[in-house]
Structure 1
Amino acid sequence: MKKILLYSLLVLVLSIVSCNEDLIDIENPNFPTTDTFWKTPDDAQLGLDAAYTMFYKPGSWTRWIYFRFDLTSDEGYSQSPWNELKEWTRFIYFNYNFWEGNAWIWRDHYKAIFRCNQVLDYVPEIEFSSQADKDAILAQAKFLRALYYYNLVLMFDNVPIVLNASQPDDTPEQSTATQVYAQIKTDLQDAASALPEQWNAANLGRPTKGAALALLGKVHMQMHEWQEAKDALSWLVEGAGATHYDLVDNYKHNFMHTTENNKESVFEIQFSDVNPRGDGDVPNQNVGSNRAQFFAPRGIGWSDGQPRRWLVDEYKKEQTVDGDIDPRLQASIFYPELQTDFPGEKIYGRDWEAGWGADCFFRKYQGDYYRNHEDYYSPINFRVIRYADVLLLYAECLAELSSGTPPALAVELVDRVRERVGLPTLANSTLYASALNSKEAFLKRLQMERSLELCLEGVRWADLKRWGLWDSQDGLNELISRDADFTNFVVGKSSRMPIPQTEVDNNPNLDQNPMY
């Protein structure tokens, strides 16, 4: 009897609720909404903080971005037992919805853009006592949005441009890479005009005027707009911004958590190991980097990504003026003869192990200098833009704008990077002095100078795309000679990833990328 009465009561309650949806659509008064939240300058800062939080997501700078920009270039590769991940780095896409590759990266980047768009939509209506503070918040949101669109266009080319906080049923129009770059340039120009040249110590890590101009220069270079790129970068190299930046004396200091935010840093992601937890949108989420765990030698990390051996051989071709091996090799790569070449070295406190064979492993951004293991919470900041990168980019612009032999300043900038690690100037190099004979020879040498200085730092994919090495069979053959995975590369197709198929299926305004 009690069961029957209880059942009848339950039916009655459910029938009442089903007749009055308002009874089940009750707002939580403690949960902020767009109507209650965007009211004060503190709200504006919290909204901006939410955009920064996207740095710490697997589809962003915490993990998967390095697999695309490092492992899919000619500098890295994967022999992971996870077959789908390995094939993804080899231009073999069995599943366009591969979560850890295509889908997660797409989702987290657009989630970050959504958070930037919220700031840009709602903060203009908030009253601030200081207009400069308000402008700085908006400028940061524009920089972050530009940075995420820059990643997307490098990976996918043809992506939707979303400039307002989106709704679940939105079906944004697809844009071309040229249109995406144009929007990025607009955001960065606005950001550069409002961002400070430097922040105080409490705000280290926020983008500066120099960061915005450096990224703007990169965008122009991807579009082969050499004069515009030079104009953007000149503030950092020949203008007032040059007083803020320089090369650090010790190359390795660019990859350690004890020497971060130094004078060579133009923009870096601030990582910390204070919250060894998950990466969801919860209080005290993980704000560390997973990169070291995935790239450490076998038995220490997962070793899902490794550097190509040709890098080691290239470093060894030219000695320093003191007759030593280029110290950038010691700071960049674990390799079998490391302890012979650099006596006293250890690999996470160990000697080279037989199980590692002839393989090479990442050393940049690994924690071997202070511990004997890795985990998912590395505190080492990732330098998205280093000043050495800016100097070499500026040299490239100057050379592209010249005719005949490379300009003196372009040569000087390359020499400045070389001399930091003890290498001779190009003119005094017994191997590469011929690079000064013509613009073409200089630009070709610059391609290798960039790799030796910046290898495994997430810039090589953009470089290869800008240089168009994979646009012709001759260039593709050069890449294949360094990286056999490029035998899978299809000209006109593989320079971009497939768009996640679920996105194409759910948005009638979105077409799959050509040849997929």
Structure 2
Amino acid sequence: MKRSIILLLVLTSSVFSACNKFLDTAPQDFVTPDNYFNTEADLDRALNGVYNRLIDNFGRMYCRGLFSFLVISDEFFYKSITVNQLKVMEFDAGQLDVGKLWEVAYSGIDRANLLLENVNKPVMDEAKRNAIKGQALFLRAYYYFILVDNFGGVPLKLSSTKSPTEAALPRASVADVYAAIVADMKEAEPLVNDISSYTNNERITTTVVQAILAKVYLTMAGAPLNDATKYQDALTYVNKVIASGKHSLNPDYSQIFINHSRDINEPKECLWEIGMYGNQQGAVQLAGSVGIENGLECPDDNIGYSGGALHITARLFNLFAADDPRRDWAIAPYKYVVTGGVPTKSFYTAAQIYERTCGKWRREYETQSPKNRVYNSTNFPVMRYADVLLMKAEAENAVNGPNADAYNAINMVRRRGYGKPVNTPDAAVDLAAGLSKESFQAALRDERGRELCFEGARKHDLIRWGLYVSNMQSLVPDIAATAPAAYKYAGNAAKNVTARNVLFPIPTTELTINHTVTQNPGW
């Protein structure tokens, strides 16, 4: 070993003596903050890099994880997976996907920090600069929202990494992380553009900031902070979105998801979507797995392959009334089978509830060709107008009780779900009047479960309502009583849930290099 080092030093000295003139030349193709961020185009590229972490080629963000294996709840279980998997909640702090979620979120934060530190360098139009700054501020806050939601208090890093030898940061409190999130989002609100400035809904706009900030406040009002004063703040921000007049419900529930599969942007219903591109073939690596990871079972590549990994629980199925049209769209009523080389639809019987899969995004509607078995260009909706209205109903009920505004908001969602005019009262589908505050909240929880199933909301909602552990544990006898013998394993994830599962463990990779960080309880 020593001989090799000495030889390397000799060779290095020779190279240095022969190349002094070359080494004196300033590098032209090495990107640093000193020679970058000099133009508007540089800022745009850097901003794209901040957005990029929301996809993550390894699937921990919205490519797959945040609507599937990272948000296990009482909605679904994984087909044929029984033990030793994150998918059945049997894992430890060394679990790769949990570690990657942490890593990718902090990568997005660091990219945002670097952009914010250099956003004032170029000479450019100030309105455009502000829009870039506002998006970077919001995205930094959103990555922290993902982190605090999943890990609790985390190190709060608001400047870019300059050196690998920088001092490690301890965990900030949950309250301090949320304070930073709110500060960034409030600063971003007047800076970002209106939705009408874009031809798609993949950028952060004014109403996106307002809607997500309302979601943040609703979360702060619930567990673990339980700050009930934040319901009023949530109400203020959902009212801003509604008053903008920029958004409305698509009259056809199923069309929302058909549009996603067809790569059609619809900013009226969908305020913000994570933009997926291509099918991971070629130079652009920005595809996702919406409708594949969580698709209806189909073995045919031309229609669009999906193994149908996410199977539904009877609890979710029974949450819908039999005449609610959303049930047989959100939950696949059929799968594809191939007989004699011909693919056909095979409809499930009433006894085959546990064989049914997610049906919201159906690959038969995709227009891209050829279709890839693992990746596609279907966008994922982070915030829909239906969610805004349901947040309105929840916040209104919390602040003022179940008043007319709260009823109107939830009933608009229900009417659309049943294919009725959203602004016309309909006794057949409207939520019954005269409910207590507690009964209205219970109805609101069920409505969110129906409307937003498979959209990554259920686990988050149950945790902020303080119901995650009890709902998962009560799922065990439910499945034991309702599942056929071949699907008794569907309760395995629920069996493994204890109080520690309200949060993920701080990853082993972080604990190894940051000795100021403590582990979450139970891990």
Query: In structure 2, do the counterparts of structure 1 residues 308 and 16 end up closer, same or farther at CA, with 3 Å as the change threshold?
Result: same
Instruction: Number of aligned residue pairs: give it.
Output: 472
Q: C-alpha deviations, 1:347-370, integer Å up to 9, x for none? A: 97532499x995121112331334
CA contact (8 A) 1:301 1:374 kept: no
Question: What residue number does 1:132 align with?
Answer: 127
- Secondary structure at the aligned position of 1:168 is classed as coil
CA distance in 1 between partners of 2:201 and 2:318 (Å): 37
Question: What residue number does 2:52 align with?
Answer: 53
Question: What residue number does 2:169 align with?
Answer: 172
- Secondary structure at the aligned position of 1:293 is classed as coil
Question: What residue number does 1:251 align with?
Answer: 253
CA contact (8 A) 1:293 1:374 kept: no
CA distance in 1 between partners of 2:269 and 2:466 (Å): 28
Query: In structure 2, do the counterparts of structure 1 residues 74 and 417 end up closer, same or farther at CA, with 3 Å as the change threshold?
Result: same
Structure-to-structure mapping, 1:158-307, within 5 angstroms: 158-166=153-161, 167-170=163-166, 171-202=168-199, 204-224=201-221, 225-237=230-242, 239=243, 241=244, 243-255=245-257, 256-257=259-260, 258=262, 259-273=264-278, 275-277=280-282, 284-296=283-295, 297=297, 299=299, 300-307=305-312
CA distance in 1 between partners of 2:16 and 2:100 (Å): 35
CA distance in 1 between partners of 2:345 and 2:371 (Å): 11
Q: C-alpha deviations, 1:117-152, integer Å up to 9, x for none? A: 11111113x133321111110100011112211111
CA distance in 2 between partners of 1:305 and 1:138 (Å): 38
Query: In structure 2, do the counterparts of structure 1 residues 303 and 385 end up closer, same or farther at CA, with 3 Å as the change threshold?
Result: same
CA distance in 1 between partners of 2:211 and 2:464 (Å): 16
CA contact (8 A) 2:201 2:273 kept: no
Which AA in structure 2 matches 1:75?
E
Structure-to-structure mapping, 1:353-368, within 5 angstroms: 358-368=354-364
CA distance in 2 between partners of 1:373 and 1:16 (Å): 52
CA contact (8 A) 2:292 2:307 kept: yes
Query: In structure 2, do the counterparts of structure 1 residues 19 and 380 end up closer, same or farther at CA, with 3 Å as the change threshold?
Result: same
CA contact (8 A) 1:62 1:289 kept: yes
Question: Residue 507 of structure 2: which of 489, 494, 500 is its match?
Answer: 500
**1:65 equivalent in alignment to 2:72:** no
Q: Structure 2: which 5+ runs fail to align?
A: 222-229, 300-304, 337-341, 480-490
Question: What residue number does 1:489 align with?
Answer: 497
Question: What residue number does 1:343 align with?
Answer: none
Alpha-carbon deviation of 1:203? 5.9
CA contact (8 A) 2:213 2:237 kept: yes
- Secondary structure at the aligned position of 2:271 is classed as strand
CA contact (8 A) 2:201 2:272 kept: no
Q: TM-score, normalised by structure 2?
A: 0.81
Query: In structure 2, do the counterparts of structure 1 residues 368 and 82 end up closer, same or farther at CA, with 3 Å as the change threshold?
Result: farther
CA contact (8 A) 1:436 1:442 kept: no
- Which deviates more from structure 2 when the two are superposed, residues 302-311 or residues 182-191? 302-311
CA contact (8 A) 2:112 2:137 kept: yes
CA contact (8 A) 1:139 1:191 kept: yes
CA contact (8 A) 2:37 2:43 kept: yes
Query: In structure 2, do the counterparts of structure 1 residues 17 and 353 end up closer, same or farther at CA, with 3 Å as the change threshold?
Result: farther
CA distance in 2 between partners of 1:80 and 1:180 (Å): 38
CA contact (8 A) 1:153 1:180 kept: yes
- Which deviates more from structure 2 when the two are superposed, residues 387-396 or residues 368-377? 368-377
- Secondary structure at the aligned position of 2:382 is classed as strand
Identity of aligned residues (%): 26
CA contact (8 A) 1:426 1:432 kept: no
CA contact (8 A) 1:348 1:368 kept: no
**1:147 equivalent in alignment to 2:142:** yes
Alpha-carbon RMSD across the aligned residues, in angstroms, is 3.3
Which AA in structure 1 matches 2:497?
F
Which AA in structure 2 matches 1:48?
L
CA contact (8 A) 1:142 1:187 kept: yes
Q: C-alpha deviations, 1:480-501, integer Å up to 9, x for none? A: 565633332222x210011111
Q: TM-score, normalised by structure 1?
A: 0.83
Which AA in structure 1 matches 2:379?
N
- Which deviates more from structure 2 when the two are superposed, residues 129-138 or residues 167-176? 167-176
Alpha-carbon deviation of 1:98? 1.6
Question: What residue number does 1:3 align with?
Answer: none
CA distance in 2 between partners of 1:497 and 1:476 (Å): 16
Query: In structure 2, do the counterparts of structure 1 residues 35 and 111 end up closer, same or farther at CA, with 3 Å as the change threshold?
Result: same
Which AA in structure 2 matches 1:230?
L
CA distance in 2 between partners of 1:253 and 1:394 (Å): 23
Question: What residue number does 2:227 align with?
Answer: none
- Which deviates more from structure 2 when the two are superposed, residues 494-503 or residues 13-22? 13-22
Q: C-alpha deviations, 1:191-217, integer Å up to 9, x for none? A: 112112224345642111100011111
CA contact (8 A) 1:251 1:328 kept: yes
